Amino acid sequence: MNVLLKFKANYGDEFDLYGFAVKTEAEWIEHQEIAKIAFEEKGAADREFGFGTNESLQFYDVEDYLSCFQVTKITNEEAAVLKQLFSCSYSDDIGFGHYVGADELID
């Protein structure tokens, strides 16, 4: 089963960042575990994610970070449509917009 991960975060009450990714349920569970470990090891003060020229998002704790995700189960057919519309030639990842993924949690 696949999940659609919709990401929404706010930058300094100035604007919102949106994005999404399609992952398997196992990848989402792994993402949550990586997030818990990353926040435990580094603490919230070091959990800053840059974007743009000099902007960044900072999260208070793992719950704050995970609250940016809305998770919806989707069928394989729905995932295939999103892959057709939003995948690219150099990656099997399916997504669009700004999305703080598990790979960004690991230094």
**Residues 43, 31, 102: CA angle, nearest 5 degrees:** 70
CA 22 vs. chain centroid, Å, equals: 10
pTM of the predicted model, to two decimals?
0.84
Q: What is the pLDDT of residues 36-95, one digit of tens each?
A: 988 888 765 556 777 778 888 888 888 989 999 999 999 999 999 999 998 887 777 888
In one-letter notation, the amino acid at residue 39 is F
Per the structure, the complete domain to which residue 66 belongs is given by 2-105
Q: Distances in Å between the alpha carbon of 84 and those of 2, 18, 81, 89?
A: 15, 20, 5, 11
Residue 60, φ and ψ in degrees, nearest 5: -70, -40
Q: How many domains are contained in the chain?
A: 1
Structure tokens of 105? Answer: 């949690």
